[in-house]
Chains A and B, each alone.
Chain A
Amino acid sequence: MDETGSSDVLARYEPLVDDVEAFRAACRRPLPSAVRVNTLRTTVERAPRALNAEGIDHERVAWHPHLLKLDGQSGANWPYVQGWLHGQEEVSALPARVLDPDPGQRVWDACAAPGSKTTQLAALMDDRGLVVATDDNLGRLSALRSNTERLGATSVAVTNEDARVHSLSPFGEEPYDRALVDVPCSCEGTVRKNPDTLAEWTLEHVLGIAGAQKGILRRAVQATRPGGTVVYSTCTFAPEENEGVLDYVLDEEPCRLVEFDLPLASSPGVTGWEGEEFDPSVARARRIYPHQNDTGGFFCAKLEVTG
């Protein structure tokens, strides 16, 4: 039991981290809030000017030109209302950058609500091309809809379905160039924002959700053209939901893991866990622990579809 009375979930990952003390300490600190500048509406020069005029203190995030750290909350100010800003924490801005879509491409965002990454993808594509945003939760999709409207994205098509059986028929049966698979997970990495996350943790939940993650990632590989890119991301440390899912999909679908650069400090994917060995290429995935960059926890993998 830790100080909150819940069983000590994080102890599970101590064998994986280099600096247990720092890891523990970072997980206890609250996370600073951050916003992404919406380049569909404004520029990285004008958004800070508007914040200055509002008297809102902010600081540029070194690794990402479009991210600003804010003092306090992001939602109630003029630049936000005007669609210039979107509340999004630092690590959450990584997967869309790794996916790196080009304007004019067809992109699938398989677990899209509330649309932080959907709108980031649309911005990276300069709102040209097609971003299909899928989620199985209608309530969360309505939050996504408000975000796409406020941020001014017109290239987003929204479907409400289980991503595991995503249908390409509304989109001419044509496969995607890119897919982002930002799956539901046990969210351990969000402990700094949500200390209660760990109180609800159970191994059954982790294993159950891993089953869904496998199905969603498989569908994404199937729906992407050969040569296309799929990015898999979670905000959990659990290897069952990370490398374990990759290992399964590498076996079942024609794809391979590829190396990629991250602008943040990270560790390689783990190739074994609790007696289980994974495909050695899962080491190409990246793990981000909270103490490495003073962020939330994160996991990200890049796959190339081969057939």
Chain B
Amino acid sequence: MGEHERDDSEDEDGTGESPTNDGHRFDRLPATAEERVVPDRPTRREVLDWWDERFGVEPVVFDSHTFWERGDGKIWAFREELATPVEIEALGMTFLRTRQEHWKPTMAAIQRFGEHATRNVVHLDRERAAEFLAGRDQELDWDGDWGYLVVTHDLAGRPEPLGVGLYVYGELRSQVPKGRRRDLDG
């Protein structure tokens, strides 16, 4: 895995516009490759397959959500249908980054949909969860895939999805955006 960005803000559009993508408007993802007009725009099918393959989240989980792109590779999930394109400030929740080779879910998406994940999930005890939430990296024994993991911890006696970690070189790298980091005692 090469350099992975650490997003400080998951939803702001810092990137410039490309000819294919307007940073100020939301375009609905095409259902499939056949319907694709803008080259390289991910399709709904690809997004569903990715969640399924990476985390075992079944496509049915997203049945009532539509997917939208604003800016290059920034995918949002929205609970309604609207006529595409939509020129507004925000539409639902930031969901997925698809610009890099390895797609990356947002913390918000993991907290919202991560309970359905059945693989590439790592459970941390309270002390490790606190390190993770503070934005710090930690050594981790993990014999699964490298790449982005769903990080869970126990809250009120049950595991809850907390955020996204990147596992590489024996290390779990916290991907908690700056604005959401907290120093909570373990």
Contacts and interface: CB of A to CB of B under 8 A. Distances in A.
Instruction: Kindly state the interface size class of chain B when it binds its partner.
Output: 35 or more
Contacts of A141: 89-90
Given A149-B94, A153-B93, A157-B88, A82 B111 contact: yes
Contacts of A150: 108, 111, 180
Given A46-B156, A170-B88, A154 B112 contact: yes
B112 A152 contact: yes
A175 interface: no
A81 B90 contact: no
Interface in A223-245: none
B93 A81 contact: no
B10 A78 contact: no
Contact of B88 (A76, A82, A159, A172): A159
Interface in A276-290: none
A83 B186 CA distance: 18
Given A146-B179, A150-B108, A81 B133 contact: yes
Contact of A76 (B94, B108, B182): B182
Which secondary structure characterizes the binding site on chain A? Answer: mixed
B184 A148 contact: no
Contacts of B12: 142
Nearest to A51: B156
B160 interface: yes
A89 interface: no
Contact of B108 (A50, A79, A152, A157): A152
B84 to A, nearest CB: 11
Interface of A: 41-42, 46-47, 49-50, 53, 76-79, 81-84, 127-130, 141-142, 145-146, 148-150, 152-160, 170-172
Interface in B8-30: 10-12
Contacts of B180: 81, 146, 150
A80 to B, nearest CB: 8
Contacts of A78: 155, 184
Interface in B148-186: 155-158, 160, 162, 179-180, 182, 184
Interface stretch (B36-44, B50-58, B74-82, B135-143): B74-82
Contacts of A129: 79-80
A240 to B, nearest CB: 31
A155 to B, nearest CB: 4
A160 B155 CA distance: 36
A78 B158 CA distance: 13
Contacts of A153: 93
